[in-house]
Amino acid sequence: MYVLVLNETNIVPDGQNNKLVYRFPGSVVLKDKYIAVSNISMFYSWFNITQTSRNNTLTYTWTSGATTTTYTILIPDGLYEITAINNFCQFTMIQNGTYWIDSTNGDYYYPFEILVNSNRYAVQLNTYLIPTSAPVGTTIPANFAGWPTTTQNSVVTFPSLFNLIVGYYENFSSNSNISNAYVPPSPSSKEQNFVSKNGAGTISYLSNRAPQVQPNNNVLFSISNINNPYSQPSSIIYSLNPNVGIGEQIYETPPNFMWNKMIDGTYNELRLSFLGTDLRPLIINDPNMTILLTIRDKDEAFLGSK
């Protein structure tokens, strides 16, 4: 049995921290050898929302007078829970002047919010009726965008790919509820989100599919010089599921090694890559990692395997 140690010094310096190269001291002949991942130590530091993934935008409308403006919320690359996404939406609405303030307690009122509905295993979108003038007991900020001439709700849109994060269908749009006259439809198709409305004009929507808040909830380990005819791609030897919180250290030792036969040949190096569930390279933000790979001979018994 032979153990190879890969750490930060083996990372290809391209800023993505997803490719490690182990160079042998010299050329080695590997015949009838099997390889497995034997230990992993790394930090949960890959993002779920990125510009590269094109899942970082949503839009909402605000009407001032008779002019309706569509604002795009561009979420910076990061690792976000639903609460953090909602917080960033509120930050953007403050920048755009599309909110008002309770004069008594200083609470801010926003045209919509996104939250987790744990009872329904869903993401809930609430849109609120925007009045035509400041309600009693409220003030408006200095950069306020202006009131509409007719009461209505903001139209919130979840474009392609961001919709998967929150579990809505592609290009979902909420209703504008002009003059508070909108009547929610009865659910009639698999694409119809559950919709409810109260007397104050608040409309609530529920996602109709499981939210993929972290699209890459597994990291696939791909290694060179492996040919598994039953797998696509043929180089996958392990799947890591982070069982810790964001930013915490993942430490995993497989209870049983999953041996993969190496292609017979002469080797100068081995290359290990991290892929997302979509089989695309996964950008790892923290390079602090140690990966142990174990190589054994075909006839060497190890952990009950031959």
**Are 133 and 248 members of one domain?**
no
Instruction: For residue range 119-147, list pLDDT tens digits in order.
Output: 999 999 999 999 999 999 999 999 999 99
Task: State the Cα–Cα distance between residues 168 and 156, nearest whole angstrom.
Answer: 12
For residue 178, give the 3-state DSSP assignment: helix
The pLDDT tens digits of the residues spanning 51-63 come to 988 999 999 999 9
The reply to whether 200 falls in a domain is yes
Residues 238 and 114 in one domain: no
52 falls within a domain: no
Question: Do 284 and 168 belong together in one domain?
Answer: no
**Residues 19, 64 within the same domain:** no
CB 114 within 8 A of CB 166: yes
Q: Is the pTM of this model over 0.75?
A: yes
Residues 178 and 126 in one domain: yes
Tell me which range, 1-5, 128-132, 243-247, is most confidently predicted by mean pLDDT.
128-132
The answer to whether residues 26 and 75 belong to one domain is: no
Q: Which residues pair with 124 in a beta bridge?
A: 115, 206
Asked, for residue 305, whether it belongs to a domain, the answer is no
Joined together, the tokens standing for residue 99 give 């909110």
Say how far apart CA 235 and CA 224 lie, in whole Å.
Answer: 6
Count of helices and strands (H, E) across the chain: 2, 22
pLDDT the model gives residue 228: 81
Q: How far apart are the first and last CA of the chain?
A: 12
Indicate the average pLDDT of the chain: 93
Q: Are residues 64 and 181 in the same domain?
A: yes
Do residues 272 and 290 both lie within one domain? Answer: yes
Question: Where does a domain end: 206, 228, 255?
Answer: 206
Tell me the C-alpha distance between 304 and 300, whole Å.
10
Half-sphere exposure of 274 (CA within 13 A, CB side): 25
Percent of the chain residues past pLDDT 70, beyond the cut: 96
Is 145 among the domain residues? Answer: yes
Residue 114's nearest CA partner among 71, 68, 174 is 174
Residues 137 and 259 in one domain: no
How far is Cα 210 from Cα 166, in angstroms, rounded to an integer? 8
Higher per-residue confidence, 27 vs 306 = 27
Q: How many domains is the chain built from?
A: 2
CA 56 – CA 124 distance, rounded (Å): 18
Give me the mean pLDDT over the 63-69 stretch.
97
Instruction: Clarify whether residues 72 and 160 are in a common domain.
Output: yes
Q: How many residues does the chain have?
A: 306
Quick check: is 211 in a domain?
Answer: no
Structure tokens at 111: 């045209």
Structural domain range at position 243: 2-46+216-297
Domain of 32, CATH number, reads 2.60.120.1100
Q: Distance between CA 164 and CA 132 in Å, rounded?
A: 34
**116 and 41 belong to one structural domain:** no
Checking if the pLDDT of 303 tops 60, the result is no
Question: Are 199 and 85 in a shared domain?
Answer: yes
What is the per-residue pLDDT for 290?
A: 98
Confidence of residue 306 (pLDDT cuts 50, 70, 90): very low
Give yes or no for a contact between 39 and 291, defined as CB atoms under 8 angstroms apart. Answer: yes
